[in-house]
Amino acid sequence: MKLLKSLSIGIATLTLATTVASADTLETTIKNGTLSCGLSTGLPGFASPDSNGVWKGIDVDECRAVAAAVLGDANKVKYAHLNAKERFTALSSGEVDVLSRNTTWTATRDSSLGVNFAGVNFYDGQGFLVKKDLGVKSAKELDGATFCIQAGTTTELNLTDYFKANKMQYTPITYDTSAQTIEGFKAGRCDALTSDSSQLYSLRTTLKDPSSTIVLPEIISKEPLGPVVRQGDDKWFNIVKWSHIALLNAEELGVNSKNVDEMLKSNNPAVKRLLGVTGDIGKNLGLDPKWAYNIIKQVGNYQEIFDRNVGKDSPLKISRGLNKLWKDGGLQYGAPIR
C-alpha cells in the first residue's frame, strides 16, 4: 500500500502538475472557500487531534491564520496529513497550498524542490532522547548506539555529520512516521531517539513514564521550521509570509485576541496599520483590509499560539528560548508592517 501511495503521488505529480502551475492559488482558494493545508501525521503541540478530534497545534494555527487572512474565517481549512516523505510532492502537485509541517528550511530544499519557505514559526535544533537507565549524560557518550529516526528528514543527515565529526559509530533504524519512531524507542529497538528537540519533548509526553527518559543537553543542528509554499506564485507567497509576520508584529505591539477590538481605537500608528484602520497593506496583498484583524481575533498573536500549544499553557512546557521576540533576546523578528 505504501508503494501504491507513493506511486499515486508520483502519478498525481505527472497529472496535477499540468493544471496547478498556471492557476492562481489565491483565486482558487477563494473560489473553493477553503484553504488546503498539509500537516504532519500527528505530533503533539505542532499538529495533533484533541479529545474531540479537532486538530490543534502551532502548525495548525499557522494554517488557520492564513485562512483567516484570505477567507475571513480561520475554520475554513481542509487538512491533509502527510508523512515526511510525501510532504513536498503533495505541495508541488497541488494537493495542498500551504505545507505547515515542522519542515526545516535548507538550501537544497529551497533551491531544488521548487518551493519557497515563507518564514520561521519555530527555531529548533536536533537533540537526543535516551532512557535514564542507560546512564548516558552526553551525546558524546553515544558511540556505537542504535538510533530510531523518522525517514526522509534532515535528522538522518545531521546524525551522520555529527558522528563523523566526532569519529563515532552508530546504527540507524528509520521508520515512516514519528509515532512508529517512538514505538520503536519504547520497545527498546534503539538506545536513543533523535529528532528536533521540540519533537522530542512532544513525543516524550506520549510515553507512559516520561520521567524515565531524558533529553541530552547537546543540540547538534540548526532547524528553522516554518510554512512552505510552491514557487512561482509570488502573490500567494506574500500572503503566507505576511500572515506569519502579522502574528509577530501583533505580539510586539501587544495586540492579542482579547484586546484586538479595543486596539482598533488605538492611537498607535503601527497598530492602526496592522489592523487595517489606516493604509492599504491588505489591498496590496490582495486581501481584505481587516486581514490581520481577522488573524488576531480568531487565532491570536504569536505569543498566544506558542503558549497554548507548546509553551507554558501546554503539557509540553517548552521555554520560548530562541523563539522569544528580538527585543527580548530571541530570534523572532517580524519585518515592519508599513
**Contacts to other proteins by CB under 8 A:** 1-3, 6-7, 9-10, 13-15, 17-18, 20-21, 84-85, 88-89, 92, 108-109, 111-114, 134, 142-146, 151-153, 156-157, 159-161, 164, 170-176, 180, 183-184, 187-189, 191, 230-232
**With respect to other proteins, which residue has the nearer C-beta, 91 or 285?**
91
Closest approach, Cβ 100 to other proteins, in A, equals 18
We find the least distance from the C-beta atom of residue 106 to other proteins, in angstroms, to be 10
Residue among 229 and 248 whose Cβ is closer to other proteins:
229
Distant-in-sequence, close-in-space partners of 201: CB < 8 Å, separation ≥ 6: 45, 215, 310, 316, 317, 318
Give dist(CA 24, CA 109) in Å, integer.
23
Question: Of 134 and 316, which has the nearer Cβ to other proteins?
Answer: 134
Q: Collapse the DSSP code of 70 into the 3-class scheme (helix H, G, I; strand E, B; otherwise coil) and give the result.
A: helix
Q: How far is the CB of 306 from other proteins (least distance, A)?
A: 28
Q: In this structure, what is the dihedral angle of CA atoms 111, 103, 185, 177, given to the nearest 10 degrees? A: -90
Strand pairing class (145-150; 192-196): parallel
Least distance CB 18 / other proteins (angstroms): 4
* C-alpha to C-alpha distances, 333 to 55, 223, 243, 249, nearest whole angstrom: 27, 17, 14, 8
Q: Whose Cβ is closer to other proteins: residue 184's or residue 300's?
A: 184
Q: Which is nearer to other proteins, 79 or 88 (CB)?
A: 88
Closest contact distance (angstroms) between CB of 310 and other proteins is 25
269 vs 199: CA distance, rounded Å: 39
Q: Which residue has the cell 499515486?
A: 8
CB nearer to other proteins: pick between 142 and 263: 142
- Pick between residue 108 and residue 211 the one whose CB is nearest to other proteins: 108
* Strand 115-117 with 223-230, pairing: antiparallel
Report yes or no: 269 and 253 within 8 Å, Cβ to Cβ: no
| Cβ-based nearer residue to other proteins, 231 or 238 | 231
Closest distance to other proteins from the beta carbon of 308 (Å): 31
Give whole-number Cα distances, 226 to 96, 103, 104, 176, 254, in Å: 15, 6, 7, 21, 23
Q: How far apart are CB 174 and other proteins at their closest, in Å?
A: 5
Cβ–Cβ < 8 Å for 43, 78: no
Please count the other Cβ atoms lying within 10 Å of the Cβ belonging to residue 235. Answer: 12
Q: How far is the CB of 213 from other proteins (least distance, A)?
A: 15
Q: Taking the CA atoms of the chain, what radius of gyration do you get in angstroms?
A: 20
CB of 184 to other proteins, least distance (A): 7
Interatomic CA distance for residues 177 and 82, integer angstroms: 9
Which amino acid does the sequence have at 8?
S
76 vs 189 by CB, closer to other proteins: 189
| Residues with Cβ within 8 Å of residue 214, at least 6 apart in sequence | 129, 130, 132
